[in-house]
Amino acid sequence: MAKITVVGAGNVGATCANVLAFNKIADEVVMLDVKEGVAEGKAIDMMQTAQTLDFETKIVGITNDYSKTADSDVVIVTSGIPRKPGMTREELIGVNANIVKSVVENCLKFSPNAIFIIISNPMDTMTYLTLKATGLPKNRVIGMGGTLDSSRFKYYLSQALNVNPSQVDGTVIGGHGDTTMIPLKRLATYNGIPVSQLLDAATLDKVVADTMVGGATLTGLLGTSAWYAPGAAGAYVAESIIRDYKRLIPCCIYLEGEYGQKDICIGVPAILGRNGVEKIVDFKLNDEEKALFEKSAEAVRKTNDILKEIKAL
């Protein structure tokens, strides 16, 4: 029986839990939140859709009682404050670092074998913090960012092509930031056809630019961080692990020489299965892409350095 804990019952966490239940990914989903009544109320609300949506997953909501998360196969961490308009992901680090560190340590007390999926921002740095603070093996700590960024890339590609998004394939690597992500336009396809054969350079460049500010665009429209796509992306990563799908998914992983980088968590393509990260796949970047990846890694490292300044590591 599969059990998944979602820490944080806000918009992203609740959406994630709902997708997990609706898609019957786990037998039990536990939502934990610090605010009394929020996780409990949302869990009851979701369970009241079980008959109409035809799922048997048990959803439980709790307030700060980590013992109820015991024996979770996967823990999805969404805790922390969301972005406001004009706010960068990096500006969240001081508050969210302490929250994420506490959450992960408490979950490990009751689920020592769990695989962690990090959604909290700044996601690359929170993934790095989780790995370093716990000493967990790299296959068990995964940042969700590249999965979300790639879904946004596919959306903008489908809009430019005027086709169904399910027919489009595109990958985003690098940091999960408005200036650090790298949509790989060279490798994007529509039903196997390179999109560069279907879109002119200016249109493709606009797709890339729109993807990079996709999160900020929604924050500006909504007044807070997006939640449907981030929540679904977290559930998608969890499903790949629980069901041992061996999907090739771009996600934030600790590198030890891959892509020319060491001691950093950053987005790269990886195969995810029951053991978490099972293999990092080398996409053979060209010189331009390598330069962009190096620049992205430098920016992520600068954010990671703040962890030392605030004594989070």
Q: Report how far residue 1's alpha carbon sits from residue 18's, in angstroms, rounded to the nearest whole number.
A: 18
Q: Report how far residue 269's alpha carbon sits from residue 248's, in angstroms, rounded to the nearest whole number.
A: 6
Phi-psi sector, 41: left (phi>0), alpha (psi -120 to 50), beta: alpha
Question: What DSSP element (H or E) covers 34?
Answer: none
Instruction: Give the sheet arrangement for strand 168-169, strand by strand.
Output: 168-169, 189-190, 193-194
Helices (H), the chain: 11-22, 38-47, 50-53, 93-110, 123-134, 145-161, 201-212, 214-222, 228-242, 287-309
- Which residue among the candidates 83, 101, 154, 176 is catalytic per the annotation? 176
CB-based contacts of 94, cutoff 8 Å, min separation 6:
306, 310
Amino acid residing at 230: P
* Catalytic site includes residue 176: yes
Whose tokens are 């999160």? That residue is 215
Within 13 Å of residue 138, how many CA atoms lie on the same side as its CB? 17
CA distances from 36 to 32, 49, 126 (A): 10, 22, 25
Query: Residue 251's beta-bridge partner residues?
Result: 268
The CA R_g of the chain, rounded to the nearest whole Å, is 19
Report the catalytic residues. Answer: 176
